[in-house]
Structure 1
Amino acid sequence: MSHNKKILIICGDFVEDYELMVPFQALQAMGYTVDAICPDKKAGDQIKTAIHDFEGDQTYSEKPGHNFTLNASFADIDPASYDALLIPGGRAPEYLRMNSQVLEMVDHFVSSDKPIAAICHGAQLLAPTGALEGKHVSAYPACAAEVTLAGGKYADIAVTDAITDGKLVTAPAWPAHPAWLAQFHALLTV
């Protein structure tokens, strides 16, 4: 099964393990070509991930995750050759949004009206691009203020749910993978 569509994942150190690993593998299993990149790294380099668990504390706990091997080189990427963008959460979006090259890549997907899937803290990478303006957006609850300040309407949904507004699919955290990935897949097959 091949959908002949290419998906770009922008990630970085301490990205949430499940929010990178699961979509990276699941979307390939669905027949998509998926490239994962990180600024200043090339194919074959590794990034560290973190596992965020919900254990009854006031916020998530963080544990070391797997090392993830990138399969594409950041410097070689032409966003125009991709059909969609996926942004995993964790701590990576908070510093990736300070990289002008990353923001230019993200802006390409926004201005070209291509499908974008963001989960958890992924909204932090979308906020500076204008992508959230007027959209119903879910994210980790700690990002609600950023969604609102970026002109979005924060969607306070169950941790297992996702929401689609136009070509933007968002979810609060990795327990939403079934809903989030199904909604993203639906956008990709239109």
Structure 2
Amino acid sequence: MARLLLIAGDYVEDYEVMVPFQALQAMGHVVEAVCPDKREGDQVRTAIHDFEGDQTYSEKPGHDFTLNATFAEVEVADYDGLVIPGGRAPEYLRLDERVLELVRHFFDHEKPVAAICHGAQLLAAAVSLEGYRVSAYPACAPEVHLAGGDYAEIEVDQAIASGKLVTAPAWPAHPDWLRRFHALLE
């Protein structure tokens, strides 16, 4: 059983926060979901990104997601792995230096990291992706390249593991993404 940190923020993608949060707990892991400037019991808003044949995803209101830990109290060394959901949250979370420090810790200590969809924006802001094959929502490919990573163009329901990093383009990849991440935690 691993103790995992999940970093969320307002307008995180609904499925990409709720499904991993619940599924990883069902696998026996402890998952602590935090957001900068929020406490245990506070909520973040979510957005549902859907793929309906348009040039990009559509966005609809999601559910409120309740955090179960307090960001200011995070002791990063206590965690075995990191989960970074997508949505719009990574776009502004990457501006928070404490969030970047947390992400760097997992890479510096070679702990498993799972990032999906726009989570690559947070990775690219925090660490060099040189030597990693990284999948993400296709609009994030330029950021992966600029961070030195090899962008992996894979099907929307697939994931890729590269070292201790597991990434996927979007929530349809949950089964593969979560299976690969779980394997790194064992």
**Corresponding residue number in structure 2 for 1:26:** 23
**Corresponding residue number in structure 1 for 2:150:** 153
- Which structure 1 residue ranges, 5 or more long, are not aligned? none
**Percent identity over paired residues:** 70
Q: What TM-score, normalized by structure 1, do the two folds share?
A: 0.97
- Say if 2:177 is the partner of 1:180: yes
| 1:87–1:122 CA contact under 8 A, matched in 2 | yes
**Corresponding residue number in structure 1 for 2:78:** 81
**Corresponding residue number in structure 2 for 1:41:** 38
| 1:11–1:88 CA contact under 8 A, matched in 2 | yes
Distance (whole Å) between structure 2 residues aligned to residue 89 and residue 131 of structure 1: 19
Q: 2:93 aligns with which of 91, 96, 114?
A: 96
Describe the superposition over 1:126-157 as per-residue Cα deviations: whole angstroms up to 9, x where unpaired: 00222422210000000000000000000000
Deviation at 1:169, TM superposition (A): 0.1
Distance (whole Å) between structure 2 residues aligned to residue 13 and residue 86 of structure 1: 16
- Say if 2:141 is the partner of 1:144: yes
Distance (whole Å) between structure 2 residues aligned to residue 130 and residue 46 of structure 1: 28
Distance (whole Å) between structure 2 residues aligned to residue 159 and residue 56 of structure 1: 13
- Say if 2:5 is the partner of 1:8: yes
**Corresponding residue number in structure 1 for 2:53:** 56
Distance (whole Å) between structure 2 residues aligned to residue 145 and residue 168 of structure 1: 18
Distance (whole Å) between structure 2 residues aligned to residue 176 and residue 54 of structure 1: 13
Question: Helix, strand or coil: the match of 2:82?
Answer: strand
Q: In 2 relative to 1, CA 157–91 (structure 1 residues): closer, same or farther, beyond 3 Å?
A: same
**Corresponding residue number in structure 2 for 1:107:** 104
Q: In 2 relative to 1, CA 119–15 (structure 1 residues): closer, same or farther, beyond 3 Å?
A: same
Describe the superposition over 1:4-37 as per-residue Cα deviations: whole angstroms up to 9, x where unpaired: x100000100000000000000000000000000
* 4+ residue runs over 2 A deviation: none
| 1:110–1:131 CA contact under 8 A, matched in 2 | no
Distance (whole Å) between structure 2 residues aligned to residue 137 and residue 41 of structure 1: 30
| 2:82–2:106 CA contact under 8 A, matched in 1 | yes
Distance (whole Å) between structure 2 residues aligned to residue 39 and residue 19 of structure 1: 18
| 1:118–1:171 CA contact under 8 A, matched in 2 | yes
| 2:94–2:126 CA contact under 8 A, matched in 1 | no
Describe the superposition over 1:35-74 as per-residue Cα deviations: whole angstroms up to 9, x where unpaired: 0000000000000000000000000000000000000000
Q: What TM-score, normalized by structure 2, do the two folds share?
A: 0.99
**Corresponding residue number in structure 2 for 1:125:** 122
Deviation at 1:122, TM superposition (A): 0.2
